[in-house]
């Protein structure tokens, strides 16, 4: 086993910094929303880099990109290394992209060392992991895993009314291959933790055992537009004032289940949004999460009751719809053990951890043995242009990824011999 093989950390860091220029923001982050021209540009960069590394590259009808490095036996399902190249509107340089580019670095390292794996290795860019432009998140890995239909995905609209399917065609990434038809032998994803635990405990590697449960909702509060100057307070049906109370109820729901529950209102649109008109309508989103599905369900029930009471007291109507439910996920023990052994063999301080953020691996775990590897990010800050990790941390994560993939390739070969 090439236990002494190491990635070229400088080459990997350079690739991350080079792609960070595509959608770079003045504050040092990236705005590269899915299916925009900037997403198309970074996709083309990635495809060209993989082709230079000798990969066969194709993409499916959800735009998921598969860069395949042949192995000795190409009839075998590939071992996959996947993540995402799309970002939040005020995203950082590392969320998602390090998982894709560390996969490319693994291929480059195997090429440099002249190592032929038993199974093919595929590096994957999953379309629309973030769900920021087209909700829900993890949309294309969800279609791949059979959670969503392709037609549902194509129908999803952004806040300007543009449809996912139309935008996918517009940027030229609607492939022929139906999403989900090719099996994966395993799936590994390197990602920043996006939380403070690893840094706080002085750990370099997070051995990710699963992903917490998540539910997204859309709420529309309807009152009555009226004149801000001539409408007495007691006669108003102020949708924004009612929403302000509702947002406090969301906060209270998150605080009611310590220490792991989280609850967030991230997007809000008040209409007509004029300074001297009492807002007649407000649209806002809610994100509830907890490691245990039963607690997420309890949080939803509590919140539904609280919002209904506020609506009645405020003289407004509320339309409240759950648009996404991603149950808690437990990753594959064999993959987890491979990551754990790799971190120990490489001498990196590590600990097991549950992912607070959603990831494509949460859905891919339904169709292939899957796990993730975390590295720290400074102060746990992510989904923020300040997002930061260190070159040596990224190198450590990529080395663990390389070793876990090589061990899995060997183990699957042993299993096959035993059969
Ligand atoms: O929402 C999430 O947790 C992920 O970043 N899409
Ligand atoms: Mn991510
Ligand atoms: Mn993200």
CATH number at residue 340: 3.40.630.10
Cis peptide before 272 (omega within 30 of 0): yes
Residue nearest to atom 2 of ligand 1 (CA): 358
Q: Which ligand is nearest to the CA of 384?
A: 3
Q: Are residues 187 and 290 in the same domain?
A: no
Q: Tally the domains of the chain.
A: 2
pTM score: 0.95
Q: How far is the CA of 134 from the centre of ligand 2 (A)?
A: 15
Q: What is the DSSP letter of 233?
A: G
CATH of the domain at 303: 3.30.70.360
Q: Are residues 30 and 174 in the same domain?
A: yes
Residue 419 within any structural domain of the chain: no
What domain range includes position 166?
9-212+328-413
Q: What is the Cα–Cα distance from 214 to 235, expressed in whole angstroms? A: 38
Residue 118 within any structural domain of the chain: yes
CB-based pocket (< 6 A), ligand 1: 129-131, 137, 357-358
Q: Which ligand is nearest to the CA of 358?
A: 1
Continuous H helices in 66-122: 97-113
Q: Pick from 265, 291, 326: which residue ends a domain?
A: 326
Q: Are residues 87 and 236 in the same domain?
A: no
Residue nearest to atom 4 of ligand 1 (CA): 358
Residue 12's pLDDT is 98
Sign of CA dihedral 223, 320, 382, 257: positive
Residue 414's pLDDT is 74
Q: What is the Cα–Cα distance from 235 to 161, expressed in whole angstroms? A: 34
Q: Pick from 301, 326, 351: which residue ends a domain?
A: 326
Q: Are residues 156 and 279 in the same domain?
A: no
For every residue of 180-210, DSSP letters joined together read: T-S--SEEEEEEE--SSHHHHHT-SEEEEEE
Residues 6+ apart with CB under 8 A from 418: none
Q: Pick from 307, 326, 345: which residue ends a domain?
A: 326
Residue 193 within any structural domain of the chain: yes
Q: What is the Cα–Cα distance from 401 to 299, expressed in whole angstroms? A: 36
317-326 and 370-375 as β-strands: parallel, antiparallel, unpaired?
unpaired
Q: Are residues 173 and 75 in the same domain?
A: yes
Neighbours of ion ligand 2 (CB under 5 A): 95-96
Q: Which ligand is nearest to the CA of 214?
A: 1
From 357, 372, 377, 387, the mutation candidate for ligand 1 (largest count of ligand atoms within 8 A of CB) is: 357
Residue 1's pLDDT is 53
Per-residue pLDDT of the chain (419 residues), as tens digits, is 588 999 999 999 999 999 999 999 999 999 999 999 999 999 999 999 999 999 999 999 999 999 999 999 999 999 999 999 999 999 999 999 999 999 999 999 999 999 999 999 999 999 999 999 999 999 999 999 999 999 999 999 999 999 999 999 999 999 999 999 989 999 999 999 999 999 999 999 999 999 999 999 999 999 999 999 999 999 999 999 999 999 999 999 999 999 999 999 999 999 999 999 999 999 999 999 999 999 999 999 999 999 999 999 999 999 999 999 999 999 999 999 999 999 999 999 999 999 999 999 999 999 999 999 999 999 999 999 999 999 999 999 999 999 999 999 999 877 666 66
């Amino acid at each position: 086993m090439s236990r002494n093989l190491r990635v070229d950390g400088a080459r990997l860091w350079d690739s991350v910094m080079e792609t960070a220029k595509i959608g770079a923001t003045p504050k040092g982050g990236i705005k590269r929303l899915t299916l925009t021209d900037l997403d198309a540009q970074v996709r083309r960069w990635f495809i060209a880099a993989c082709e230079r590394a000798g990969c066969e590259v194709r993409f499916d009808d959800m735009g998921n990109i598969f860069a395949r490095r042949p192995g000795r036996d190409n009839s075998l399902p590939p071992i996959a290394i996947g993540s995402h190249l799309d970002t939040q509107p005020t995203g950082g340089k590392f969320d998602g992209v390090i998982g894709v580019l560390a996969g490319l670095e693994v291929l480059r390292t195997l090429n440099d060392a002249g190592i032929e794996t038993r199974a093919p290795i595929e590096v994957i860019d999953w379309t629309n992991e973030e769900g920021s432009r087209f909700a829900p998140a993890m949309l294309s890995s969800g279609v791949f895993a059979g959670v969503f239909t392709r037609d549902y995905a194509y129908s999803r609209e952004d806040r300007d009314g543009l449809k996912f399917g139309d935008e996918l065609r517009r940027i030229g990434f609607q492939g022929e291959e139906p999403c989900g038809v090719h099996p994966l032998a395993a799936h590994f994803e390197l990602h920043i933790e996006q939380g403070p635990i690893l840094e706080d405990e002085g750990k370099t590697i997070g051995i990710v055992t699963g992903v917490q449960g998540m539910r997204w909702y859309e709420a529309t509060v309807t009152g009555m537009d009226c004149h801000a100057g001539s409408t007495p307070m007691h006669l108003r049906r102020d949708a924004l004032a009612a929403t302000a109370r509702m947002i406090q109820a969301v906060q209270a729901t998150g605080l009611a289940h310590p220490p792991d529950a989280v609850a967030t209102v991230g997007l809000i649109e008040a209409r007509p949004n004029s300074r001297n008109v009492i807002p007649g309508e407000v649209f806002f989103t809610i994100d509830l999460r907890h490691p245990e599905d039963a607690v997420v369900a309890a949080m939803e029930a509590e919140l539904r009751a609280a919002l209904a009471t506020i609506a009645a007291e405020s003289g407004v109507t509320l339309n409240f719809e759950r648009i996404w439910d991603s149950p808690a996920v437990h990753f594959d023990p064999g993959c987890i053990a491979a990551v754990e052994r790799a971190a120990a063999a490489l001498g990196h301080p590590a600990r097991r951890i549950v992912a607070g953020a959603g990831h494509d691996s949460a859905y891919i775990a339904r169709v292939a043995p899957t796990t993730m590897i975390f590295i720290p990010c400074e102060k746990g800050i992510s989904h923020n242009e300040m997002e930061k990790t260190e070159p040596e941390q990224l190198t450590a994560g990529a080395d663990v990824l390389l070793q876990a993939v090589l061990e899995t390739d060997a183990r699957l070969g042993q299993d096959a011999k035993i059969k």
